[in-house]
C-alpha cells in the first residue's frame, strides 16, 4: 500500500510503481523501455480518468482530506508575490490552525486568511489538524477589520474538519467567536471571496466563509457536519459515513446545483494533490477574475448584495 494514494486510487499506484520500476531498469537496457513506459503512462491516465469520472460523495470527501493536497500556505507560496504573515489575536495567543497576512496578488494588496493543516506528525499537532480555537477566529476578525481600513479585499481559504471541540476552546467562548465573525463579516465594507480548498467543516468553516463570492475546488467538500458525525448521530454508526456524505450532498457539483456555490474550480487530473502548480495557477486565475468583477461594485451596493444573498438562503422564493 502506498500511503500517498487512497484506497480507490491503488490501481493507479500499482501502475505508477511499475513505471518507476521500468525507469530504473531502463538505465542499463535500451530495449523498447521508453515505448513500454509511455504505454503504461497512457494506461495510467486512462485509468485515472475513468476512476475520477464517477466518484462517490464519500470518495470525494477522502480526496478533500488527502494528505498530499495543497494547504493554504502552499497556495500562498504559489499564488502571491509577497506575503507578510500577521500573528495573534492580541488577547490570548497565536492560533496556528488559522493563518493570515497581507499579500500582493499580481501587485494588488489583499488580505489572506485561511485554515492551515500540517503534513508531518509534529506539524499536524502544531496546527491542531486545522481546527481553530476562539483566538484563531478573533485573529481572523482583527485582520478582516484591518483589511476594511486599508481597503484591501479579503481572500479566505477554507480547509478545516471544524472548530476545535476542546475544554479550553469552550472556556474561551468558541461559540461567541464564531457567531461574532458571522455577524461582522455581513457588514465589512470590502469585497470578500471565500474558496473551499479542502474540507469545509461546519461553523468552523463558515466563520471565515461569509462572502460575496463562494468558490469551491472541484473535489472539496462543504457541509453542516462531517459525514462521520452525521452518520454516528442519524445512523448510530460512524461506519455509515458514505451514506451520510451522499445524503448531505456535500460536493461542489451538488452544492452548485442548489445555488449555494457560485463557482467550481477544476482540479488537475487525479486531484489537486497530483499537480500543485497547475491547481494554484487555476485558482489564481479565478481569484483575479472574481476580484476584478467585485471591484466594480459600489461599496454600499456590495454590502446590500451580500446581505440579500444571505437572506435568500433556504426559503423557496
Chain positions contacting other proteins, by CB under 8 A: 163-167, 169-176, 178-180, 182-187, 202-203, 206-207, 209-210, 222-225, 229-230, 233-236, 243-244, 247-250, 255, 258, 260, 307, 310-311, 313-316
Nearest approach in angstroms of CB 85 to other proteins is: 26
Q: Nearest Cα to 197, choosing from 134, 123, 117? A: 117
Q: What backbone phi and psi angles, to 5 degrees, belong to 265?
A: -105, 120
Q: In the complex with other proteins, which residue's Cβ is closer, 83 or 235?
A: 235
Q: In the complex with other proteins, which residue's Cβ is closer, 87 or 91?
A: 91
Per-residue CA distances from 31 to 41, 159, 263 (Å): 17, 47, 48
Nearest approach in angstroms of CB 315 to other proteins is: 5
The DSSP result for 194-218, as a single string, is EEEEEEEEHHHHHTTT--SEEEEET
Q: In the complex with other proteins, which residue's Cβ is closer, 18 or 254?
A: 254
Q: In the complex with other proteins, which residue's Cβ is closer, 8 or 92?
A: 92
Nearest approach in angstroms of CB 298 to other proteins is: 19
Q: In the complex with other proteins, which residue's Cβ is closer, 29 or 316?
A: 316
Residue 74 C-alpha from the chain's centroid: 11
Q: In the complex with other proteins, which residue's Cβ is closer, 214 or 279?
A: 214
Residue labelled with grid coordinates 485573529: 139
Beta bridge partners of 233: none
Nearest approach in angstroms of CB 73 to other proteins is: 25
Dist CA 81 CA 107 (whole Å): 7
Q: Nearest Cα to 283, choosing from 293, 261, 302, 268? A: 268
Dist CA 213 CA 211 (whole Å): 5
Nearest approach in angstroms of CB 228 to other proteins is: 11
Instruction: Note whether 194 and 208 are within 8 A (CB).
Output: yes
Alpha helices by DSSP H, the chain: 10-26, 33-52, 57-64, 72-79, 121-126, 134-149, 167-171, 174-185, 202-206, 227-234, 241-248, 252-257, 276-295, 299-311
Q: In the complex with other proteins, which residue's Cβ is closer, 11 or 249?
A: 249
Nearest approach in angstroms of CB 208 to other proteins is: 11
Nearest approach in angstroms of CB 61 to other proteins is: 13
Amino acid at each position: 500500500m502506498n500511503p500517498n494514494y487512497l484506497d480507490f486510487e491503488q490501481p493507479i499506484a500499482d501502475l505508477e510503481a511499475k513505471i518507476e520500476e521500468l525507469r530504473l531498469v531502463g538505465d542499463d537496457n535500451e530495449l523498447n523501455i521508453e515505448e513500454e513506459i509511455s504505454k503504461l503512462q497512457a494506461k495510467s491516465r486512462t485509468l485515472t480518468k475513468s476512476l475520477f469520472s464517477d466518484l462517490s460523495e464519500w470518495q470525494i470527501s477522502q480526496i478533500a482530506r488527502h494528505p498530499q493536497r495543497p494547504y493554504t500556505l502552499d497556495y500562498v507560496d504559489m499564488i502571491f508575490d509577497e506575503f507578510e504573515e500577521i500573528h495573534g489575536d492580541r488577547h490570548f495567543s497565536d492560533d496556528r490552525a488559522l493563518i493570515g497576512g497581507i499579500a500582493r496578488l499580481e501587485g494588488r494588496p489583499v488580505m489572506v486568511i485561511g485554515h492551515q493543516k500540517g503534513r508531518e506528525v509534529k506539524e499536524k499537532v502544531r496546527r491542531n489538524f486545522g481546527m481553530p480555537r476562539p483566538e484563531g477566529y478573533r485573529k481572523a476578525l482583527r485582520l478582516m477589520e484591518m483589511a476594511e481600513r486599508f481597503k484591501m479585499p479579503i481572500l479566505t481559504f477554507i480547509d478545516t474538519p471544524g472548530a476545535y471541540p476542546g475544554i479550553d476552546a469552550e472556556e474561551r467562548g468558541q461559540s461567541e467567536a464564531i457567531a461574532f465573525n458571522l455577524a461582522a463579516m455581513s457588514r465589512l465594507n470590502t469585497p470578500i471571496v471565500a474558496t473551499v480548498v479542502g474540507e469545509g467543516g461546519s461553523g468552523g468553516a463558515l466563520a471565515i466563509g461569509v462572502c460575496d463570492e463562494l468558490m469551491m475546488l472541484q473535489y472539496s467538500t462543504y457541509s453542516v457536519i462531517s459525514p462521520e458525525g452525521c452518520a454516528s448521530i442519524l445512523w448510530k454508526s460512524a461506519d455509515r459515513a458514505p451514506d451520510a456524505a451522499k445524503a448531505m450532498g456535500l460536493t461542489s457539483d451538488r452544492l452548485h446545483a442548489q445555488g449555494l456555490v457560485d463557482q467550481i474550480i477544476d482540479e488537475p487530473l487525479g486531484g489537486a494533490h497530483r499537480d500543485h502548480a497547475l491547481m494554484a495557477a487555476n485558482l489564481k486565475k479565478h481569484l483575479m477574475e472574481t476580484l476584478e468583477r467585485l471591484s466594480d461594485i459600489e461599496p454600499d451596493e456590495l454590502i446590500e448584495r451580500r446581505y440579500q444573498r444571505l437572506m435568500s438562503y433556504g426559503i423557496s422564493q
